[in-house]
Amino acid sequence: MRGDSSGPARRERADFRNAAAGTKQVATILHISDLHFGPPFVERVGEALLRIVPRLEPDVIVASGDFTQRAKVEQFELARQFLDRLPDVPLVVVPGNHDVPLYRIRERLFEPYRLYRQYIAPELDYKVELDGLVIVALNSTSPVRTIVNGRIDEEQLEYCSRAFADAHPEAAKIVVAHHHFAPAPDFVRDQVMPKAKRAMDRFVSLGVDVVLGGHLHRAYIGNSLDVYPGRDREHGVIIVQCGTTTSRRGRGREREKNTFNLLSVGPTTLRVTHFMYFDDLDGFAPLSSHLFPRPGHLIPHETRGPHEAQGPHETRGPQQAQGTGTTSGDSPPTAR
C-alpha cells in the first residue's frame, strides 16, 4: 500500500521524508493519537492525514489510544475503517480512557475492552520487535479504579523488564501507553498516573529510549528531566506526547489544532518532527524538529571532554517542544 516504489516518485517521497526528519535513519515511526471517532472527529483532517502518511514512508505506525469518543460500535467501526486505509506496515496500538464505555456501567465493569479487542486489537499489553526497534505497548486504562486517569502496575513494569531483557544492545527500546508518565511542563494542569515516577525510574533502569503517549491533546516533546529530578542526562527518558491528530478536542496551546509526530531513530540519535495541520494548506506540515541523543550517546557537534561532560555550557539534547512553566498534579482530572 505504499504506492509507486520506482524512480523519481520514490526519490521525491524519500527526500520529503528526509527533509522532515533531517537525520540518517534506522527506522521511521509515525506517532498519531486521540483520533476520537464520533462527534469530535474532523473528516477533512483525517483525509489530510491519510494523504501525507504514505509520503512519510513509516516503518511502523503507533496510535496511542482514544480511537473513539464514547466507545460505541459505530465509532469503533469508523476507526477500524480508517486504520485500514493507513499504509500496510505494523501498527502498534493501546487503548485510551475513551475506548472503554463510560456510562454503560455493566460493560465498563465486566467487559470494558470487548469492542476495543474486536475492532482495534486483541491484545492489551504486548511487544513488537522490528529491525532495530523493540516496542512495548502497555494498557494504561483502568476502568474500575479510575475514570479519566490511568494506572500502570508493577506487573506491567515486570512485563517491560522481560520484554526488553533480550533486546539487541543497539535496538531502540520504546514504551507506548495512552496516559502520560510526567506532566507536560506548560501552563495547563494535568494529573499524572499514581506512581508515574516509579514507572519512569524503571524505564531509566531498563535503558528505555523513549516513551510515547497521548491523552493530553497537545504535544510535549522533551525529557523526564524537565520535570523529575535526576543527577545527569542518563537518568532521563525522552518523552514524546502526541496531540489529538484528527479531533477538535485540542487543548492548551494546541487548542483547535491537530498534530502528529514523526520519529527517526538513528544509531545514536532520535529526531522527533512535530507536524501540524494548517487550514490554508488543507494538510499537515512540519512545525518543529527536536534532536535527542539516544542513551549513552552524544548529539552531533557535542564534545564531551573530562571537564565539560556535566558543565553548565553543554548543549543538552533534551529540549521541550514549546513553552515552559510549572505544572502540579493536584488539580482535578479533566476529561480528555
Which residues of this protein are in contact with Fe ion, per CB under 5 A? Answer: 34, 66, 96-97, 215, 336
Q: Residues near 80 by Cβ (< 8 Å), separated by ≥ 6?
A: 119, 120
C-beta of 165: minimal distance to Fe ion in Å? Answer: 30
The smaller minimum CB distance to Fe ion, of residues 17 and 215, is found at 215
The smaller minimum CB distance to Fe ion, of residues 25 and 244, is found at 244
C-beta of 176: minimal distance to Fe ion in Å? Answer: 14
How big, in percent rounded to 5, are the helix, strand and coil portions of the chain?
Answer: 25, 20, 55
Phi/psi at 264 (nearest 5 deg)? -115, 110
C-beta of 72: minimal distance to Fe ion in Å? Answer: 15
Reading the block at residue 259, the C-alpha cell is 498534530
C-beta of 261: minimal distance to Fe ion in Å? Answer: 16
The smaller minimum CB distance to Fe ion, of residues 245 and 327, is found at 245
The smaller minimum CB distance to Fe ion, of residues 290 and 336, is found at 336
C-beta of 256: minimal distance to Fe ion in Å? Answer: 15
Can you say whether residue 163 is alpha, beta or left, with left for phi > 0 and alpha for psi between -120 and 50 degrees? Answer: alpha
Q: At 127, which amino acid appears? A: K
C-beta of 4: minimal distance to Fe ion in Å? Answer: 35
Beta bridge partners, 290, equal: 272
Strands (E), 266-305: 269-278, 283-293
The smaller minimum CB distance to Fe ion, of residues 26 and 221, is found at 221
Strand order in the sheet with 269-278: 91-93, 60-63, 27-32, 259-265, 269-278, 283-293
Q: Residues near 333 by Cβ (< 8 Å), separated by ≥ 6?
A: 147, 148, 149, 191
Q: Which residue has the closest beta carbon to Fe ion?
A: 66
Residue pair 41/247 in contact (Cβ under 8 Å)? The answer is yes
In 3D space, the residue among 283, 300, 303, 282 whose CA is nearest the CA of residue 292 turns out to be 300
Residue pair 58/30 in contact (Cβ under 8 Å)? The answer is yes
C-beta of 175: minimal distance to Fe ion in Å? Answer: 17
C-beta of 95: minimal distance to Fe ion in Å? Answer: 10
The smaller minimum CB distance to Fe ion, of residues 306 and 332, is found at 332
Q: Residues near 98 by Cβ (< 8 Å), separated by ≥ 6?
A: 36, 65, 66, 67, 68, 69, 70, 71, 336
